[in-house]
Amino acid sequence: MAILKTILCFAAAVIIPYLISGVNSAIIVTKIKSGEDIRKIGSGNAGLTNTLRTQGKLAALFVLLGDILKGVISILIVHFIFKGVLGIDTYDHAGGYEWINYLAGVFAVLGHIFPIYYGFKGGKGILVTFSTMLAINPVTALILLGIFGVFVAITRYVSLGSIIAASCYPFGVVICAYLNKNPNPWLSFIFAAVIGFLLVFMHRSNIERLKNHTEKKLGEKSK
């Protein structure tokens, strides 16, 4: 029975974040506002930046709130399932189970990037990663937000700030794990590294445009 409970809890940690985060705020908000598919306008990305450029600030605000909410809810549900069924506190640093939250985070990001509801074509995962990070470790999330903000302020490229923050993500996670005396820091690092890789991979077209100096800067409109 204990083994079955454990299997069900880990199945929940995979399936629930994937399904919740697969609900794409940018696609829904754009469809309601203009009747268009955001994946076919602007940059083609179903995310916050493209919503801001093509639909305006109010629509982008709803996308921001939606993506933050779904990431936080995904992690909290997994936490309460493990706590209630197995008695495992995924926020107990000393217990070494924080990596379960990062596992859930991987599938939240996968759900956002490859949503089953929209033909497996979603966004690039930056905002949902930040929201899961807020739910797991707010300090690390705010540090990464600061890194993102500095590079965007200097260069005016949202994509560059996102790529650099994503690259720093696993290292921020493992440093915080060590500072919190987590006995399993490298498990958290591995799952964070998977997320970081996914985020950079999803920005490969942005990287190409940055190299060719054709990437749009913050504030530029998409037609």
For 78-122, what is each residue's pLDDT tens digit?
999 999 999 999 998 888 899 999 999 999 999 999 999 999 988
- Summarize the confidence of residues 127-142 as an average pLDDT: 93
Is 217 a member of any domain?
Answer: no
Query: Is there a contact between 148 and 160 (Cβ–Cβ < 8 Å)?
Result: no
Is 95 a member of any domain?
Answer: yes
Percent of the chain whose predicted confidence (pLDDT) is above 70 = 98
Is 222 a member of any domain?
Answer: no
Query: Is there a contact between 60 and 45 (Cβ–Cβ < 8 Å)?
Result: no
1 has pLDDT over 80: no
Is 2 a member of any domain?
Answer: no
Mean pLDDT score across all residues of the chain: 92
Is 101 a member of any domain?
Answer: yes
Distance in angstroms (rounded) separating the CA atoms of residues 112 and 117: 10
25 has pLDDT over 70: yes
Is 90 a member of any domain?
Answer: yes
Distance in angstroms (rounded) separating the CA atoms of residues 179 and 161: 25
Q: Any idea what DSSP says for residue 45?
A: -
The count of domains in the chain is 1
Is 85 a member of any domain?
Answer: yes
- Return the pLDDT at 221: 60
Is 31 a member of any domain?
Answer: yes
Q: Which structural domain range is residue 54 located in?
A: 9-211
- Amino acid identity of 124? K
